[in-house]
C-alpha cells in the first residue's frame, strides 16, 4: 500500500495484475461520469430504451463516446464491458483499454450541436480524490 494513500500513483497499469492489486489498482481504469453526462445518458435511455456507451479510444486526452441503443451492439471479443454509468454498460475494445495510461476515465459533456456530445477524458485530481475517499468511507 502507498505511504500516502491519497496521492496518485501515476503511470499505466502493469501487465501483472498481482502488481497492480498490490499498488491498489486494477488492470482497467475506473469509469466515472459527471452529473451532466449522467443526465444525457438517462434522457437517452428514457427516450430510446436501453443504451450502451462505447469508448472509441482510451489513451487520448479526449475521445468521443458513442451512445448506442443496446440492441444495436453485439457483445463479442471486439468489445468488453469495463464499467457502468447511469445503469448503462460502458464497452471498450480490450487492446485499447489495456493500453490506457490513465487510472481513471471520466465521461463528460464535450460540445456537439446541442451541447450533449459525450467525451472520455482522464479524471481530474479532484475526481480521483473524491472516488478514493468515497470508496474508503463506503459511499
**DSSP-derived pairing of the beta strands 118-122 and 51-55:** unpaired
CB count in 10 Å sphere of residue 39:
14
Q: How high is the mean pLDDT of the chain? A: 75
Residue 95: what pLDDT? 76
> Would you put residue 13 in left (φ > 0), alpha (ψ -120 to 50) or beta?
beta
Whats the size of the chain, residue-wise? 139
Strand order, beta sheet including 51-55: 30-33, 104-109, 118-122, 63-69, 51-55, 88-92, 80-85
Domains and CATH numbers, the chain: 26-137 (2.60.300.12)
Could you read off the pLDDT of 85-121 as tens digits, one per residue? 999 999 888 777 777 777 788 899 886 666 668 988 8
Amino acid at each position: 500500500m502507498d505511504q500516502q494513500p491519497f496521492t496518485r500513483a501515476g503511470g499505466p497499469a502493469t501487465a501483472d495484475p498481482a502488481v497492480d492489486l498490490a499498488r491498489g489498482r486494477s488492470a482497467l481504469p475506473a469509469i466515472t461520469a459527471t452529473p451532466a453526462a449522467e443526465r444525457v445518458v438517462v434522457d437517452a435511455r428514457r427516450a430510446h430504451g436501453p443504451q450502451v456507451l462505447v469508448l472509441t479510444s482510451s489513451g487520448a486526452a479526449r475521445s468521443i463516446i458513442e451512445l448506442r441503443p443496446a440492441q444495436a451492439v453485439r457483445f463479442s471479443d471486439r468489445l468488453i464491458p469495463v464499467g457502468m454509468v447511469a445503469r448503462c454498460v460502458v464497452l471498450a475494445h480490450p487492446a485499447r483499454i489495456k493500453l490506457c495510461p490513465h487510472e481513471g476515465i471520466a465521461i463528460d459533456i464535450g460540445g456537439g450541436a446541442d451541447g450533449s456530445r459525450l467525451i472520455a477524458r482522464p479524471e481530474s485530481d479532484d475526481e480521483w480524490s473524491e472516488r478514493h475517499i468515497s470508496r474508503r468511507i463506503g459511499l
